[in-house]
Structure 1
Amino acid sequence: MEQQPFSNKHKHLEFVQAAINRMAGNLFLLKGWSITLIAALFALAAKDANKSYVLIAYFPLLIFWCLDGYFLSQERRFRALYDQVRQKSEVDIDFSMDTRPFSNDSRNSWAGAILSRTLIIYYAGLAIVMLVLMFLVR
């Protein structure tokens, strides 16, 4: 029997890939918003010579770090789902988008994503830059 050009497996993989793309887009937007908001708070601090704006900037940094970790953990779960669907046979395709079976992996957990190398480098680096700039904005 000849395989259809758009099989159920192919369609399911497209659904999962669309979810992965949304998560990646969210990660990109969060990083952009974090830089924009922190830069705005630093501009206010420099304009008014008020260090409290700089200290307030650490709050959104923490919030964006946690949100980024959440979306990264979701993206990792969908990647694991994609890998599972990729290995299934055509008759086993059920179009499930349930990622709960992949939450047991520590890498896919929220804490695992927050503490991932990429997010630590980005947000800890941003926090260090903020600390240095705090002393320069006197």
Structure 2
Amino acid sequence: MTQAQCPFCAIINGEDPSARVVYQDQNVTAFFPLVPATRGHTLVVPNRHVVEHADLTAAESRQLGESVRRAARGVRAAVSPDGMNIIQSTGAAATQTVPHVHFHVVPRWHHDRVELRWPDTEAEGQVEQDATLELVRSVLPGPSEDVSPEDRRQHLSFIQAVVTRMSQASSSSKSWLLPIVTITYGYAVTKEQLWVAMLGIAAVAIFGLLDANYLKQERAFRKLYDKVAAGGDIPSFSLNPALAGPAGSKINYWPDWEDIRSWAVAPIYGPLLVVGVSIAIWAHCR
């Protein structure tokens, strides 16, 4: 679901006249869900479209946490429940139906219609729990640091330098490919050599994949740049673009289809491949 299709974004932008908005500021919006589970059931969401809770910036997380506390206090004062659930679900497996981070503030009464059950048995044995404990500890991010503006500017300059290198490498690959294609395709035509045409086609494919990879890395570092600029939870001076992706993501150096068919790759390498294949077919028929 894109931001344009998100029903929560429609409420945030004032595009849903039926929405019952509890309050809204420049960072957070609170409103009643379409089908409240109990009286006073309230959703609290960040105004920025964020799919997973782990992808919130540190500032957004603090703003959202304070707004959830504020909503809970207001709901408690308004409807005087016997208890309250504060629920945040991420992913379809955790029953998230709208891919926009949200907290449920659910007032509870004895014998109400809401059922929340936890399993009676443990999910792992003692040995497995110890192993999981060590794994979680090993990847748990450290406390957020108060980064000085100068350090952030320097961090951004490092990331921008990588983006610039990726862009220059992309231009260089195109510059190197042009004489190779000219020589191989030209020789294949004048000498009617199929294998030389195939060599040119292979060069175009290799340089195309290389260029698509440069584009992929450039996009990844641009996302890292944006997250650092927004004050996200990125360790100081880190150049790991995976930290700007979804939680648990890893660096993948193989270009995606989106990178291959981009305007910077497909319109350039695609015609060269077509020309090479045409020359190869012509040379073979001769």
Tell me the TM-score range normalised by the shorter chain.
0.7 to 0.9
Amino acid at match of 2:242: R
More helix by share: 1
Q: Does the CA contact (< 8 Å) of 1:85 and 1:93 recur in 2?
A: no
2:125 alignment partner in structure 1: none
Which residue of the other structure, out of 210, 230, 233, is the alignment partner of 1:67?
Answer: 210
Number of corresponding residues: 130
Which residue of the other structure, out of 236, 239, 245, is the alignment partner of 1:94?
Answer: 236
Name the SS of the counterpart of 2:238 in structure 1.
Answer: coil
2:223 is aligned with 1:52: no
More strand by share: 2
Name the SS of the counterpart of 2:172 in structure 1.
Answer: helix
- C-alpha displacement of 1:132: 4.5
Normalising by structure 2, what TM-score? 0.40
Amino acid at match of 2:206: I
- Between the aligned partners of 1:110 and 1:49, the Cα distance in structure 2 is 34
- C-alpha displacement of 1:103: 5.3
Q: Does the CA contact (< 8 Å) of 1:58 and 1:127 recur in 2?
A: yes
Which residue of the other structure, out of 251, 264, 272, is the alignment partner of 1:126?
Answer: 272
- Give a deviation string over 1:43-102, Cα, whole Å, max 9, x none: 32244332321122111111111111111111000100111111118xx76111111134
Q: Which has the higher contact order (CA 8 A, sep 6+)?
A: 1
Q: 1:100 to 1:65 in 2, by over 3 A?
A: same
2:259 alignment partner in structure 1: 113
Name the SS of the counterpart of 1:43 in structure 2.
Answer: helix
Superposed CA RMSD: 2.8
Name the SS of the counterpart of 1:7 in structure 2.
Answer: helix
Gaps of 5+ in 2: 1-147
Name the SS of the counterpart of 1:118 in structure 2.
Answer: coil
Normalising by structure 1, what TM-score? 0.78
- Between the aligned partners of 1:50 and 1:64, the Cα distance in structure 2 is 22
Higher CA-based Rg:
2
